[in-house]
């Protein structure tokens, strides 16, 4: 059990942090003893615990008692986390050398954390505030320069490691289903349903330019093969017949995705209203945001996708800033698809600091907008589904890999070998840490003139080779919501102290993965698959290994 002594203004982010690091905790009580106490308040009392972690870039009342002297303060910095440069956004203090201290975290400017042994407990003084860092990343997102760093996941990893390294056991509901290493969500934003709807408009002229001048340039740059160039020119030659209905529309996406993702659930986000560019769209070219189709044109397709186990969501236009319009967009897609979806991803990934609260009021249960347009990686520092700080119930599904960010000349503009180097570390991190890996492939990406389909097929093949659970976005969010609903209860009676783990009463499928990490030198871990229908009791003794009890 972890006791948390934090500032009052940090309580919401403390609660969210311990939904991500799902382990027993409570606000610190002076009448109880804890295995571990995490402190971010400026006032630090004398604490009797196996491990006391004191976080903060400002002076603590315990610093003088422990002979801790600050050396240098920085508004932001990078520290080392097992060889990874971990960004600190909300302030860092480094410390003067301490003869009894063992350095734990280094930075270019000095020691950013060290361990102080004492008679009754181990004390680790960390020169940044854990909860301020988590609050910043969840609320603001990370700059593109740090996109490749799963910042919050690393903070959890460091805290977990310190707890175990100091001889404590740990109970955790892991962020992956039992029997799987992580979750995969294959998603598609449907901006076009064919070129046939675009005759003598900017989309058609843009296609012709990219298929001629642009295609030749891409051949010279090594981005297209001669065979692909000939296929592009063949598509241009058939364009009149496509308009006449005599040739297949080479931009039609659903049949192709059905083949590549056979027997795999995917999520399709549909535009609610055609020929609406939306309001408050920043930058030039906003008028081009209006589409030539809407959800009503795909009623039969949506029914077929739903029957195949896929999900239909909203590709929102104005929902990000207008509650009333967001509700209309939700109702429109639900009526046309016949599926009461509650998920959304905004067109162009538009959002602001109010968007989660606006979407929640409009009736959505999750948003899948939390990603980058210009790169791939961890916008909010995690693979886990999380609750934005301004929302009460709405959850955010993070987006990690997007085709346009990888291949567009104005974005990363990567070759296929370079792209593989970008996504392989993301898969490796998901396999190690769990959570969700979310991909976004657009409707036109498989066909002329892009030809990003072969790469996507290879990506899907790589993910299928992993021990992953493939789910729709809605299924993944629901599974994480059930994990969040789990409650820990400390039970003290004549027999001693137990931890009672309570589920919501309904079966969770696939089951949750309860991990009991022992404080033995081998670091032994015991996995318990648990569906949550019955309470799980764990025997608990201070300083002793946790032991799985009986299911009651």
* Euclidean distance between CA atoms 459 and 253, whole angstroms: 17
SS3 178: coil
Q: Is residue 199 part of a domain?
A: no
Do residue 343 and residue 326 come from a single domain?
A: yes
CB 221 within 8 A of CB 475: no
Answer whether 0.75 is exceeded by the pTM.
yes
The b-or-e profile of 106-131 (16+ CB within 10 A means b, else e) is ebebbbbbbbbeeeebbbbbbbbbbb
Residues in contact with 130: Cβ distance below 8 Å, sequence separation at least 6, in sequence order: 17, 38, 40, 55, 155, 159
Question: Coil, strand, or helix at residue 17?
Answer: helix
The answer on 344 and 265 residing in a single domain is: yes
DSSP for 83-150?
TEEEEE-S-EEEE---TT-EEEEEETTEEEEEEEE-SS-EEEEESS-HHHHHHHHHHH---GGGTT--
Position 338 in a domain: yes
Residues 241 and 263 in one domain: no
Q: How many domains does the chain have?
A: 4
394 with 463, same domain: the answer is: yes
Q: Are residues 98 and 188 in the same domain?
A: no
Q: Which residue has the tokens 């429109």?
A: 332
Q: Which of 45, 8, 52 is nearest to 27 (CA)?
A: 8
Domain stops at, among 448, 479, 510: 479
Q: Is the pLDDT of residue 552 over 50?
A: no
Closest to 182 (Cα-Cα) out of 371, 420, 464: 464
Compute the C-alpha angle 361/388/393, nearest 5°. 45
Of 77-81, 360-364, 435-439, 480-484, which range is least confident? Answer: 77-81
- Three-state DSSP class for residue 464: helix
Query: Using CA of residue 523, residue 155, residue 1, residue 165, what is the dihedral sign?
Result: positive
Judge contact between 184 and 470, C-beta under 8 A. yes
The Cα–Cα gap between 404 and 402 comes to: 6
Whether 285 and 243 map to the same domain: the answer is no
- In 3D space, the residue among 219, 304, 257, 199 whose CA is nearest the CA of residue 446 turns out to be 257
Cα dihedral: 353, 355, 358, 363 (round 10): -150
Helix, strand, or coil (residue 51): strand
Burial of 142 (0-12, 13-18, 19+ CB in 10 A): buried
User: How far is Cα 135 from Cα 152, in angstroms, rounded to an integer?
Assistant: 10
Nearest Cα to 452, choosing from 404, 412, 420? 404
Which residues, other chains included, contact 86 with Cβ-Cβ below 8 Å and sequence gap of 6+?
A: 78, 79, 80, 149, 151, 154, 155
Q: Is residue 77 domain-shared with residue 112, that is, in the same domain?
A: yes
Q: What is the mean pLDDT of residues 463-486?
A: 97
**Among 434, 452, 479, residue at a domain's last position:** 479
Kindly report, residue by residue over 316-360, the tens digit of the pLDDT: 999 999 999 999 999 999 999 888 879 999 999 999 999 999 999
What average pLDDT does the segment 246-271 reach?
Answer: 96
Q: What is the C-alpha separation between 318 and 30, in angstroms, rounded?
A: 49
- From residue 443, alpha-carbon distances to 195, 254, 319, 337 in Å are 11, 8, 22, 18
pLDDT score at 471: 98
Q: Is position 200 within any domain?
A: no
Is it the case that residue 544 has pLDDT exceeding 70?
A: no
The answer to whether residues 338 and 463 belong to one domain is yes
Mean pLDDT of 229-249: 94
Residues 6 or more apart whose CB falls under 8 angstroms from that of 408 comprise none
410 and 335 within one domain: yes
CB 106 within 8 A of CB 85: no
Does the residue 31 lie in any domain? yes
Reported as a pLDDT band with limits 50, 70 and 90, residue 549 is low
Q: Where are the alpha helices (DSSP H) in 246-378?
A: 254-260, 299-307, 323-337, 355-362
The sign of the CA dihedral 110, 115, 118, 123 is positive
Closest CA to 326 of 342, 349, 310: 342
**Domain shared by 241 and 336, yes or no:** no
Q: Verify that 286 and 334 share a domain, yes or no.
A: yes
- pLDDT for 523 equals 57
Residue 223 in any domain: the answer is yes
Residues 421 and 333 in one domain: yes
Query: Where is the domain boundary, 479, 505, 531?
Result: 479
Of residues 538 and 313, more confidence is placed in: 313
Task: Give the pLDDT score at 548.
Answer: 54
Distance between CA 539 and CA 101 in Å, rounded?
34
Q: pLDDT tens across 118-171, in order?
A: 767 889 999 999 999 999 999 999 999 999 999 999 999 999 999 998 888 899
Query: Residue 311 maps to which CATH number?
Result: 3.20.20.370
CA nearest 473: which of 153, 184, 181, 255?
184
Q: For the segment 58-113, what is each residue's pLDDT rounded down to a tens digit?
A: 999 998 888 889 999 999 999 998 888 999 999 999 999 888 888 899 999 899 99
On whether residue 30 sits in a domain, the answer given is yes
Q: Of 496, 500, 497, 498, nearest to 488 (Cα)?
A: 500
How far does Cα 243 stand from its chain's mean position? 41
Query: What mean pLDDT comes out for the span 256-273?
Result: 96
495-516 pLDDT, tens digit per residue, is 777 788 988 778 999 999 999 8
Q: Does some domain include residue 523? A: yes
Q: Mean pLDDT score of the chain, rounded to an integer?
A: 92
Burial class (CB in 10 A: 0-12, 13-18, 19+), 390: middle
Structural domain span for residue 517: 486-551
pLDDT of residue 547: 59
Is residue 206 classed exposed, middle or buried when 0-12, 13-18 and 19+ CB atoms within 10 A define those classes? middle
Q: Specify if 44 maps to a domain.
A: yes
């Amino acid at each position: 059990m972890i006791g948390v002594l934090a500032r009052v203004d940090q309580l919401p982010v403390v609660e969210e942090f311990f939904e991500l690091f799902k382990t027993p905790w409570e606000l610190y009580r002076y009448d109880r003893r804890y295995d571990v106490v995490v402190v971010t308040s400026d006032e630090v009392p004398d604490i009797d615990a196996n491990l006391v972690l004191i976080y903060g870039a400002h002076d603590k009342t315990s610093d003088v008692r422990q002979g801790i002297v600050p050396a240098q303060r920085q508004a932001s910095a990078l520290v080392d986390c097992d060889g990874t440069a971990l960004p600190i956004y909300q302030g860092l203090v480094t410390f003067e050398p301490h003869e009894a201290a063992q350095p734990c975290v280094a930075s270019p400017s000095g020691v950013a954390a060290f361990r102080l042994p004492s008679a009754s407990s181990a004390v680790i003084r960390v020169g940044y505030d854990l909860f301020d860092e988590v609050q910043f990343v969840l609320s603001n997102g990370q700059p593109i320069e740090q996109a490749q760093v799963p910042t919050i996941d690393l903070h959890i990893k460091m805290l977990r490691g310190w707890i175990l390294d100091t001889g404590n056991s740990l109970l955790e509901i892991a962020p992956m289903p039992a029997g799987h290493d992580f979750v995969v969500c294959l998603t598609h934003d449907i901006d076009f349903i064919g070129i046939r709807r675009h005759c003598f408009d900017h989309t058609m002229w843009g296609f012709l330019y990219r298929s001629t001048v642009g295609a030749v340039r891409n051949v010279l740059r090594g981005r297209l093969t001669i065979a692909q160039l000939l296929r592009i020119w063949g598509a241009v030659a058939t364009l009149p017949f496509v308009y006449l209905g005599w040739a297949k529309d080479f931009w039609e996406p659903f049949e192709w995705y059905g083949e590549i993702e056979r027997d795999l659930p995917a999520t399709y986000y549909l535009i609610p209203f055609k020929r609406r560019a939306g309001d408050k769209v920043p930058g030039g070219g906003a008028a081009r945001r209006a589409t030539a189709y809407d959800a009503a044109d795909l009623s039969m397709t949506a029914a077929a996708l739903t029957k195949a186990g896929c999900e239909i969501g909203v590709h929102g236009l104005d929902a990000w800033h207008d509650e009333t319009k967001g509700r209309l967009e939700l109702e429109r897609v639900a009526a046309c698809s016949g599926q009461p979806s509650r998920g959304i991803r905004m067109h162009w990934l538009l959002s602001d600091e109010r968007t989660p609260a606006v979407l929640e009021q409009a009736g959505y249960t999750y948003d899948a907008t939390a990603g980058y347009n210009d790169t791939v990686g961890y916008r909010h520092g995690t693979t886990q589904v999380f609750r934005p700080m301004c929302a009460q119930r709405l959850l955010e599904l993070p987006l990690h890999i997007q085709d346009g960010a990888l291949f567009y000349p104005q974005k990363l503009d990567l070759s296929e070998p370079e792209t593989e180097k970008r996504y392989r570390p993301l898969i490796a991190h998901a396999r190690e840490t769990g959570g969700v890996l979310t991909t976004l492939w657009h409707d036109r990406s498989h066909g002329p003139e892009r030809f990003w389909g072969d790469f996507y097929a290879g990506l899907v093949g790589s993910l299928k080779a992993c021990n992953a659970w493939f789910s729709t976005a809605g299924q993944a969010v629901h599974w994480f919501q059930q994990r969040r609903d789990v409650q820990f209860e400390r039970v003290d009676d004549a027999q001693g102290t137990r931890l009672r783990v309570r589920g919501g009463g309904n079966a969770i499928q696939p089951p949750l993965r309860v991990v009991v990490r022992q404080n033995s030198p081998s670091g032994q871990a015991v996995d318990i698959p648990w569906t949550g229908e019955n309470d799980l009791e764990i025997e608990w003794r201070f300083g002793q290994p946790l032991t799985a009890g009986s299911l009651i």
